[in-house]
Amino acid sequence: MLYNISVSDMNLGDEIEGFFVLTSASRRTTAAGKTYLTGTLSDRSGSLEMVAWDYSGEIGPEDNGKVVKVRGRVSEYRSDRQFSAQRIRLADRKDEYRPEDLVPAAPIDRDAQLREIDTLIDSLHDEDYRHLAAEALRRHRESFSLIPAAKSVHHGFLGGLLMHTADMLHIADFLSGQYAEVINRDLLLCGTLLHDMAKAREFSLSPLGLAVDYSLEGQLLGHTVMGAQETAALAEELNLPKEKSVLLQHMILSHHGEPEFGAAVRPMCAEAELLHLIDMIDSRMEIYAETFTTLPSGSFSGKIFALDRKIYRPAESEKHPE
């Protein structure tokens, strides 16, 4: 029996006991009339399907996102690994497990990243954009540094929004220099900081901080409209000139580029155009990075839903030794 082994280290045939996050839980009945439980177990290293045969306890869909203690064996089902649980129960206060082991988190130092963003905000010359950026961050500092940037278990992790925004700000700062003729750095950086901030309201968050679903307003309004709305209110509160407020709202509303991809309007100023392309770069590179964690060099992935095609990881990608 192996204890508290991480999901990515499990091998076929291992007997395992440990704590994991349960999702997609569903109570079932066999043709022979026996009840059983299916679901997904995950920790920060990955996830795998679980089945608990002959389970007639109380765990069910209402426990999605909670931590369970399981004991069982790693088998295979339709060419994927599967966890066959002999025992399963909800974790309680007396159990000793570390939440940070269970939930995938961005590989970053969150406090350092937040301080970097503070410094960038301080560097804005335009008082209006600087005040609004600082105040928006002050109000959402906690959720902004905690939540994922997307819902899916495979693309979303704690601190995902912070990491995504910080990376984009880094690029925005660089490109503001290269295209200083057409780009107002203050506007670009302020709009970049704000562009996804309403994601905190778009998701329903689990006890451990993951996005397990979309909220009602997340689905009926969307984070771009909500983000523009909150920016409009804040801009009025801080007495920003009308045009500055409208430009920031426009950047948030248009950052998906095309209506078919969720933009309420298409980008019509240089800063909105650039914000959209920086967002594309950082999302795409993230998809490649996450795909590479399981894709060997010199091989093709399966079709990637978000790209609608498969990708290739070059065999020749070794870096030169310094």
Residues 85-104 that bind its own copies (CB under 8 A): none
Within positions 198 to 257, which residues make up the interface with its own copies, using CB under 8 A?
Answer: 216-217, 219-222, 224-225, 228-229, 232-233, 241-244, 246-247, 249-250, 253
- Residue closer to its own copies by CB (options 147, 269) is 269
Among 14, 49, 51, 155, binds its own copies (CB under 8 A): 51
Contact between 295 and its own copies (CB under 8 A)?
no
Among 57, 284, 294, 306, binds its own copies (CB under 8 A): 284
State in angstroms the smallest separation of the CB of 142 from its own copies. 22
Site string for its own copies, 129-168 (x = CB under 8 A): --------------------------------------x-
- Residue closer to its own copies by CB (options 96, 243) is 243
Contact between 270 and its own copies (CB under 8 A)?
yes
d(CA 121, CA 100): 30
State in angstroms the smallest separation of the CB of 83 from its own copies. 11
List the structure tokens of 41: 């177990």
List the structure tokens of 309: 């095609």
Among 92, 181, 296, 302, binds its own copies (CB under 8 A): 181
| Three-state DSSP class for residue 203 | strand
Q: How many chain residues touch its own copies (CB under 8 A)?
A: 88
State in angstroms the smallest separation of the CB of 45 from its own copies. 18
- Write the Ramachandran bin of 98: left for phi over 0, alpha for psi from -120 to 50, otherwise beta: beta
Contact between 317 and its own copies (CB under 8 A)?
yes
Q: Under a CB-based contact definition with an 8 Å cutoff, are residues 311 and 291 in contact?
A: yes
| Three-state DSSP class for residue 94 | coil
State in angstroms the smallest separation of the CB of 231 from its own copies. 10
d(CA 72, CA 37): 13
| Three-state DSSP class for residue 266 | coil
List 68's β-bridge partners, or say none: 20, 90
Within positions 54 to 73, which residues make up the interface with its own copies, using CB under 8 A?
Answer: 73
d(CA 182, CA 281): 20
- Write the Ramachandran bin of 289: left for phi over 0, alpha for psi from -120 to 50, otherwise beta: alpha
Contact between 108 and its own copies (CB under 8 A)?
no
Q: Which residues of 9-42 are buried (b: 16+ CB within 10 A; e: fewer)?
A: ebeeebebebbbbbbbbebeeeeeeeebbbbbbb
List the structure tokens of 24: 């997609």
- Residue closer to its own copies by CB (options 8, 11) is 11
Contact between 75 and its own copies (CB under 8 A)?
yes
